[in-house]
Amino acid sequence: MTLLLPTSTAGSLPKPSWLAEPEKIWSPWALEGKQLIEAKQDALRVTLQEQAQAGIDIVSDGEQTRQHFVTTFIEHLDGVDFKQRETVKIRDRYEASVPTVVGAVSRTKSVFVDDAKFLRAQTDQPIKWALPGPMTMIDTLYDNHYKSREELAWEFAKILNQEARELEAAGVDIIQFDEPAFNVFFDDVNDWGVATLERAIEGLKCETAVHICYGYGIKANNDWKKTLGSEWRQYEKAFPKLQQSSIDIISLECQNSHVPMDLIELIRGKKVMIGAIDVATDTIETAEEVANTLRKALQFVDADKLYPSTNCGMAPLSRSVARGKLEALSAGAAIVRQELTA
């Protein structure tokens, strides 16, 4: 990117009520069959226009094409039985009924490539596409086949690489892997988590990103955050390994979080998507609040490597709040951009 401080969002954006029940995650679709395909495409057009109008530089599908950032990808794979469900603790935090791995996992056809081609056809702006990361995928399943978290993660990494190569060919500029699990399972991150992520990006020429956050603004996550104390140092555990990895961009939660900004020094040299929008509150940031967060980050990130973004996805928010937050992000980035070029 030649533009200084290009803005983007971490992931999902609210869905219109005619597509799915609004303001919740895992929301069921309101339509089916051909009507659903058309509605998803229409919602994608709308979210794209909203991002463009708000002045977002790197745009996405706002995840209008998927029900959930992890499950929808897994639904398209062989080896996972969605009828056979077990209750597991997701990210050691909250219980959920999840599908079971019953055999070797494989991808028999592409998952999001047609959706990405559709997005590519709608805009000339740089586009970012999100995929779940291998560690976050295994954390959302019950494994009755491999019986090894690491082995299953390597299998998913291979599958993600197949999908990523096709997304790149479809014209995606940045492929992002969502790895909130990197903030929880520190030993695994260092033993094989970052390595499986690198397997997922093997051979890609487009830019790659990893998004590590403290989750959506849902109750289970908000309760968990209350137990983390006044300083959140989770990033410290994964950063040294990520700094040495071949991932280009690291996407972080910084707005209203208790993450000490100086931890970002540990990934010096990487491009950093700085979350300058809090997704766990309906209060819309002022442009000056966004600018302040970006200014603090600039102490630890070179200006040409700073990408203003949101803390996480905004699917659970109302559309008007999300729009307001996108505008605040652009306005805050514009203030700092002007300061840097003055």
Nearer to Zn ion, 80 or 312 (CB): 312
Residues 121 and 59: their CA atoms lie apart, in Å, by 13
Judged by CB under 5 A, the chain residues 212 through 231 that form the site for Zn ion are 213
Phi, psi of 207 (to 5 degrees): -75, 155
Shortest gap between Cβ of 76 and Zn ion (angstroms)? 21
Shortest gap between Cβ of 279 and Zn ion (angstroms)? 8
Token pair for residue 96? 């959920």
Residues 8 and 176: their CA atoms lie apart, in Å, by 12
Shortest gap between Cβ of 273 and Zn ion (angstroms)? 11
The residues, any chain, with a CB within 8 Å of residue 18's CB and separated by 6 or more, are 30, 31, 39
Do 196 and 156 contact (CB within 8 A), yes or no? yes
Token pair for residue 30? 């309101």
Shortest gap between Cβ of 216 and Zn ion (angstroms)? 7
Shortest gap between Cβ of 60 and Zn ion (angstroms)? 13
Shortest gap between Cβ of 246 and Zn ion (angstroms)? 22
Nearer to Zn ion, 312 or 321 (CB): 312
Nearer to Zn ion, 79 or 316 (CB): 316
Angle at Cα 16 formed by Cα 170 and Cα 115, nearest 5°? Answer: 10
Taken as a whole, the chain contains a residue count of 342
Nearer to Zn ion, 312 or 329 (CB): 312
Span interacting with Zn ion, options 107-115, 188-196, 206-214, 266-274, rule CB under 5 A: 206-214
Span interacting with Zn ion, options 80-88, 132-140, 211-219, 325-333, rule CB under 5 A: 211-219
SS3 string of 82-117?
A: EEEEEEEEECCCEEEEEEEEEEEEECCCCCCHHHHH
Nearer to Zn ion, 284 or 312 (CB): 312
Nearer to Zn ion, 142 or 182 (CB): 182
Span interacting with Zn ion, options 54-62, 130-138, 199-207, 305-313, rule CB under 5 A: 305-313
Site size toward Zn ion, by CB under 5 A: 2
Nearer to Zn ion, 169 or 218 (CB): 218
Nearer to Zn ion, 119 or 213 (CB): 213
Span interacting with Zn ion, options 61-69, 229-237, 310-318, 324-332, rule CB under 5 A: 310-318
Shortest gap between Cβ of 210 and Zn ion (angstroms)? 11
312 binds Zn ion (CB under 5 A): yes
Q: Which residue has the tokens 């491999």?
A: 146
HSE at residue 297, side-chain half, CA atoms within 13 A, is 32
Shortest gap between Cβ of 51 and Zn ion (angstroms)? 17
Nearer to Zn ion, 77 or 213 (CB): 213
Q: What is the DSSP string of 36-96?
A: HHHHHHHHHHHHHHHHHHHT-SSB--TTTT-SSTTHHHHHTSEEEEEEEEEEEEETTTEEE
Shortest gap between Cβ of 178 and Zn ion (angstroms)? 6
Q: Which residue has the tokens 């979080």?
A: 257
**Terminal C-alpha separation, the chain:** 20
Interface contacts to Zn ion, rule CB under 5 A: 213, 312
